[in-house]
Amino acid sequence: MSVLLLLTTLACRPPTHPAAPPPTGQPRAHPQGQLDAQPEAATGCRTDIVAEQSAGAMVVSAHPEASRIGAEILRAGGSAVDAAAAMAVALTLVEPQSSGIGGGAFLLSYDAETRQISAWDGRETAPAAASPDQFMADGVERPWPEVVPGGLSVGTPGLLRVLEAVHAEAGALPWSELMAPTIALATEGFEVTPRMARSIRQWENAMDPLRRHPGSLAYFYPGGQALAAGDIRDNPALAATLAAIARQGADAFYTGPIAEHIVAAVQGATRNPGRLSLDDLRRYTPVRREALCLDYRGHRVCGHPPPTSGGTTVLSILGLLERFDRAALEPGSAEGAHLFAEAVRLAWADRDRYLADPAFVDVPVAALLSDPYLAERSARLDPAQRLRVVEPGLLQTSAVDAPACPEGADTTHLVVVDAAGNAVSMTSSIENAWGSGIWVDGFLLNNQLTDFARTPERGGVAVANAVQPCKRPRSSMSPTLVLDPDGELELLVGSPGGSRIIQYTARVLLDVLDHGSSVQEAIAHPNLAQTSQGLELEDDCGTPGWSAATVEALIALGHDVVRGSLNSGLHGIQRIDGAWVSGVDPRREGVAIAVP
Ligand code: GLU
Fold of 3-22+31-289+402-595: Glutamine Phosphoribosylpyrophosphate, subunit 1, domain 1 (3.60.20)
SS3 of residue 136 by DSSP: strand
Amino acid at 169: E
- Give me ligand 1 centre to Cα 38, in Å: 9
**Mean pLDDT across the chain, nearest whole number?**
92
SS3 of residue 34 by DSSP: strand
Beta bridge partners of 104: 429
Q: Which residues lie with the beta carbon below 6 Å from any ligand 1 atom?
A: 39, 409-411, 429, 431, 448, 451, 475-477, 496-498, 501
Q: What pLDDT score was predicted for residue 256?
A: 98
- 168-211 tens-digit pLDDT: 999 999 999 999 999 999 999 999 999 999 999 999 988 899 99
Q: Report CA 78 to chain centroid distance, whole Å.
A: 25
Element (H, E) at 523: helix 519-524
Most ligand 1 atoms within 8 A of CB, residue of 17, 98, 410 to mutate: 410
Residue 31 has pLDDT above 70, yes or no: no
Q: The whole model's pTM is what?
A: 0.94
Classify residue 539 by its DSSP letter.
P
Query: Which residues are within 8 A (CB) of 317 and not within 5 positions of it... i.e. 6 or more apart?
Result: 340, 343, 344, 347, 502, 503, 506
The residues carrying an active-site annotation are 411
Most ligand 1 atoms within 8 A of CB, residue of 153, 431, 448, 500 to mutate: 431
The average pLDDT across 57-80 equals: 98
Q: Which amino acid residue places its CA nearest to atom 3 of ligand 1?
A: 475
d(CA 423, CA 487) in angstroms, rounded, equals 14
d(CA 443, CA 103) in angstroms, rounded, equals 10
- 361-416 tens-digit pLDDT: 999 999 999 999 999 999 999 999 999 999 999 887 766 665 666 544 368 999 99
Q: How confident is the model at residue 165 (pLDDT cuts 50, 70, 90)?
A: very high
The average pLDDT across 510-526 equals: 97
d(CA 455, CA 589) in angstroms, rounded, equals 37
H helix and E strand count, the chain: 19, 26
